[in-house]
Amino acid sequence: MTNEIVPHEGDIAQVLKGPEGDFLRRAVGELLHRLMEAEVSRQAGAGRYERSEERAAYRNGYRPRVWETRVGSVELSIPRLRQGSYFPSFLEPRKRAERALVAVVQEAYVSGVSTRAVDDLVQALGVAGLDKSAVSRMCQELDEEAEAFRTRPLEEEAPYVWLDALYEKVREGGRVRSMAVVLAVGVTADGTRTVLGMDVGNAESEAFWTGFLRSLVRRGLAGVQLVISDAHEGLKQATAKVLDGATWQRCRVHTMRSILTHVPRDQQAMVLAAIKTIFAQPSQTEAHRQLKEVVKALKKKCPKAAELLEEAADDVLAYMSFPREHWRQLHSTNPLERQIREIRRRTRVVGIFPHRGSLIRLVSMLLAEQDDEWQAAERAYFSKTSMAKLTGSASPPGLMKESATG
């Protein structure tokens, strides 16, 4: 067995500084040049100096661009066309969210509100020396794409709906404000997850949540049987007002955290273990019976925790009236956590958004990507067999209290 010699990163850096590095960069440049020539010939319908009846466009010189690669800066000569435009596939951002991120960073950069981190990112993306009109056009295209996704008709019923929010910083009215980004994700009747909508507002008020839910209804949201969210008062009231007839499930994770704040630290593990026995029961009836036992045991040492648990009983165990196969996903807002983490990971790069529209643009593109993945997934979130049980095992589909124009 021979020992494989793994080059050290420092050694590679030294190689790239010498003649070998120049050779690698020339080789990469030549390869990319051939790729671009093949692509532009295919788009134009004819090769360079070739006569063809299928020709759709003529070449119009080249435009230079420096592309940063692992072997260093490679100078490109990108072919231009007289009719239409050409952009190399290897430079084309692979995802809509990446385009949105670049647009937001560009906009922050040219608006004079960039930080050193944003400036470094702009340089790394190869978009130094920005042209404001080009940035404006790019942002306008993304805004149209984001708006089309946000306002698309909701053509399938969504028996399950998860609601949650996060906060981001936005410049508005000459100052930096913390704004609420509200999200709605659902599962359709065939068991497929889908992004229902998002919006940005000044705060999670009842009025804002009500307006958001009404917009979902106007777009076609129907058949809601269970809404899962935290116990935010404005959200609760808006849900009861707009989605009347749907059951509300209080997020179990948030509820347990709230209860434990009223338990001494040295007793929290014991209390948590006791509460978990409630959710381990095989039926809703037995879970309620066990909850009463836990409340009785807690009243002497942790009366406030016992009171909160007793008050939350119906709402925190609501998911148990639905098919058992769905319990694990229905008891909390955890199914939305991945989307929230991804949004925060990307918004952290920007820091402070130049305006509300740039925040909507980026979050919409991230959600559109996620929705594409869910629709293309080979396996549904819930099986059709288990979804079929909803008709007989759960409350009737929630009837919308307000009209689509309400």
Closest CA to 309 of 267, 345, 279: 279
Phi, psi (deg, nearest 5) at residue 319: -60, -20
Between 211 and 59, name the one with better pLDDT: 211
Residue 311 — very low, low, confident or very high, per pLDDT cuts 50/70/90? very high
The pLDDT, as a whole number, for residue 399 is 37
Q: How far apart are CA 404 and CA 66, in angstroms?
A: 52
The pLDDT, as a whole number, for residue 214 is 97
Residue 60 — very low, low, confident or very high, per pLDDT cuts 50/70/90? confident
157 has a pLDDT exceeding 60: yes
Average pLDDT over all residues of the chain: 82
